[in-house]
Amino acid sequence: MNKHYSDLLKAHKLYIRNESRWKFYDEYMKNKDSKAWFMSEEIPLKEALFLFGFINSWEPEFQGDLATFLRIYKSIFKLIKKIEHETIIEIDFNDNEIKKTISIIFDKIIECPKRKKSRKKKCRHEYTAASKILHVILPDLFVMWDKRIRKAIVGGERNGKCCAFKFLPKMQEEIKEYLESFIKENGGDYKSAAFQISKKANNYTLPKLIDEYNYVRYTKGISLSELRSVSL
């Protein structure tokens, strides 16, 4: 079935109706200091604590260590700055350097959990939480995922290479299809279409809206026909 931008709006409505944790996201996004993440490699402790509090409220299994995360962020700050102004619509995924940058950033972030006391035990990697952390830092670029979403869209892979070379390019492709359906009916271009769709959905970014669509469809298992039966 062809993609239509109303699918994103209907998924958003279902998400708000059925997922109470949306309030945690809204509260965090309204109150975080977005500029703090790009001004210096030394993230204000208050902002970092705020981030980890949000991730813990939204991802109960999260085992991140704040001190480790701050050290990691410092090491990738220059790479983060390279993609500071990129969006999922405009980023050039034909550029291998951009994809490599994203891959490195992602693989570093997943290594933020506490170290195991026993060397025999492997340190847990935060594949899902990393996507959430990167999304809230760069909400116009990163699309979140979880195990079921990954499996449905890219199979069993879950590392930075998969995120940068497969998942995000696929999300860009799908987002552009939704935008094109809007443009076909209403005119304009990608930028104006993205603005209008976002405006209809509480000003959520396109990466957040397609995440909600993925969550409703793949994490919750709601069929496309059931989704499209939702009234707006």
- Give tens-digit pLDDT for 183-218: 999 999 999 999 999 999 999 999 999 999 999 999
The reported pLDDT for the residue numbered 61 is 82
The reported pLDDT for the residue numbered 63 is 87
What's the CA gap between 3 and 176, in Å, rounded?
10
pLDDT tier, 1 (very low <50, low <70, confident <90, very high otherwise): low
The reported pLDDT for the residue numbered 112 is 86
Tell me how many domains the chain contains. 1
Token output for 156: 């069993």
User: Are 159 and 183 in contact, with CB atoms under 8 Å apart?
Assistant: no
CA angle 72/78/81 to nearest 5° reads 110
Instruction: Give 59 or 105, the one with higher predicted confidence.
Output: 105
What tens digit of pLDDT does each residue of 87-144 get? 999 999 999 999 999 999 999 999 987 655 445 556 668 899 999 999 999 999 999 9
**Among 18-32, 140-154, 169-183, 202-216, where is mean pLDDT lowest?**
18-32
Query: What's this model's pTM, rounded to 2 decimal places?
Result: 0.94
With 80 as the cut, is the pLDDT of residue 80 above it? yes
User: Are 18 and 220 in contact, with CB atoms under 8 Å apart?
Assistant: yes
Q: 149: domain range?
A: 5-228
What's the CA gap between 14 and 126, in Å, rounded?
27
The reported pLDDT for the residue numbered 122 is 60
193-207: buried (b, 16+ CB within 10 Å) or exposed (e) per residue? Answer: bbeebbebbeebbbb
